[in-house]
Amino acid sequence: MWQGLEGHDEVVDRFRKTLRRGRLASTYLFVGTAGVGKRTFALRLAQSLLCNQVPDEELTYCGECESCNLAAAGTHPDLLVAQLPEGKSTLPIELFIGDREHRHQAGLCHHFSLRPFLGNRRIAVIDDVDHLSQESANCLLKTLEEPPPDSLLILIGTSPSRQLPTIRSRAQLVRFNPLSRETFLRLVTANGIAEDLDAAGRLAESSNGSLERARLLAAPELWEFRAILSRSLDQSEVDSVKTAQLVSDFVDEAGKQASVRRARLKMVLQFAADFYREKMRNDHRVETLDQLDHCLKAAEYVDRNANQATLIQWWTTQLGPRKLAPAHPS
Ligand SMILES: [Zn+2]
């Protein structure tokens, strides 16, 4: 296990070998399910490379030098971190090249091009690159094509297919696998997400090796809602209006943060998809398959940041008795 990060020994080995050969690339694209440790790995890799006490090729850090302290506190001047701002659907251009008054004098691309303050390299970690707009990608392209000497840029997304080809072709791909069942069970119990192995086992069924999903699922109200939703879907004719209200209320209860509400809505859609998959096993009806398909489509729309109310209405109408479909949510 590498510095408390479980389940990714292959990735650790790969980087250690690369560093021993002195062949670190300038840009990496980390992909894999959300919540398996990509960002944690990126930040620890950065700290290892910035640490003043331990040589790079050992791929570890001392945890005590000035660099380590600053990196751990998230205030290292040579470590730049960017992510999707709350309430935004794309990584805005300002994040990369500064706002209108400070174009090319601020933002990640500008700071990344400056000489390192403390060590001998600058490192940037950009999370949520699934949400990179074409405009922002164009700004980033110059940095990818002419990276500062010894710099390292780590992009974090979920799948290669969700990246713009211009970005994908200029980065080395690193895949992070979902956590194995064994690792997953150990981590959810060790982190207090599940009380015991029984609870951890239940989470494992629905979490697909993602700790992030497990954290969301661990909320007891989610399981209660799952039962309520199943009852609502288990009617000969689904009451679209009632189901829409039920889902809207439950999603809104998650809080004000749009990202948290989105995560909850996705969970609800997953529950519904599970319900129809199970039903499919018993009745083999085309209609059930259609309903399952609508759940999966709706989940895709959540990823594309469709309007919540419109999306829920569209989805529940598709589940109900056949009638004229309302406008597409995207
Ligand atoms: Zn150190």
Q: pLDDT digit string (tens) for 300-327?
A: 898 777 889 999 999 999 998 765 555 5
pLDDT of residue 311: 95
The answer to whether the CB of 147 falls within 8 A of the CB of 135 is no
Q: Is the pLDDT of residue 210 over 90?
A: no
> Separation of 45 CA from ligand 1 center, angstroms?
12
Instruction: Please tell me the distance between residue 179's alpha carbon and the centre of ligand 1 in angstroms.
Output: 28
Average pLDDT over residues 209-224: 83
- The confidence score (pLDDT) of residue 11 equals 94
pLDDT at residue 217 above 60?
A: yes
The confidence score (pLDDT) of residue 166 equals 92
> For 167-172, what is the mean pLDDT?
94
Architecture of the CATH domain 9-175: 3-Layer(aba) Sandwich (3.40)
Question: What average pLDDT does the segment 126-154 reach?
Answer: 93
Does the pLDDT at position 143 exceed 90?
yes
Helix, strand, coil percent content, the chain, rounded in steps of 5: 55, 10, 35
* pLDDT on residue 322: 63
Q: What would the mean pLDDT of 49-66 be, rounded to a whole number?
A: 93
Asked if pLDDT for residue 230 goes beyond 90, the answer is yes
- Mean pLDDT for 67-77 is 95
Q: What is the pLDDT of residue 304?
A: 79
For residue 216, count other CB atoms closer than 10 A to its CB. 21
Mean pLDDT score of the chain: 89
Kindly give the distance from the C-alpha atom of residue 43 to the centroid of ligand 1, in angstroms, as a whole number: 13
CA of 72 to the centre of ligand 1 (A): 10
121 CA distance to ligand 1 middle (Å): 15
pLDDT at 120 over 60: yes
CA of 75 to the centre of ligand 1 (A): 14
Distance 59 CA to ligand 1 centre (A): 11
What pLDDT, on the 0 to 100 scale, is given for residue 173? 97
> Ligand 1: distance of its center to the CA of 65 in Å?
4
Domain residue ranges of the chain, discontinuous segments joined by +: 9-175, 219-319
In angstroms, what is the span from residue 50 Cα to ligand 1's centroid?
Answer: 7
The answer to whether 288 and 279 are in contact (CB under 8 A) is: yes
DSSP 100-139: GGGTTTSHHHHHHHSPPSSSS--EEEE--GGGB-HHHHHH
pLDDT at 215: 84
Per-residue pLDDT, averaged over 246-269, amounts to: 88
pLDDT band at 17 (very low <50, low <70, confident <90, very high): very high
Q: Distance from the CA of 47 to the center of ligand 1, in angstroms?
A: 8
Residues 78-106: tens digit of each pLDDT: 999 999 887 778 899 999 999 999 998 99
pLDDT of residue 203: 83
pLDDT at position 42: 96
pLDDT for the residue 325: 53
CA of 58 to the centre of ligand 1 (A): 12
- 């506190």: which residue's tokens? 73
CA of 18 to the centre of ligand 1 (A): 20
Nearest to 80 by CA among 20, 39, 122: 122
What is the rounded radius of gyration, in angstroms, for the C-alpha atoms of the chain? 22
Dist. CA 306 → ligand 1 center (Å): 44
Task: Tell me: pLDDT of 274 over 70.
Answer: yes
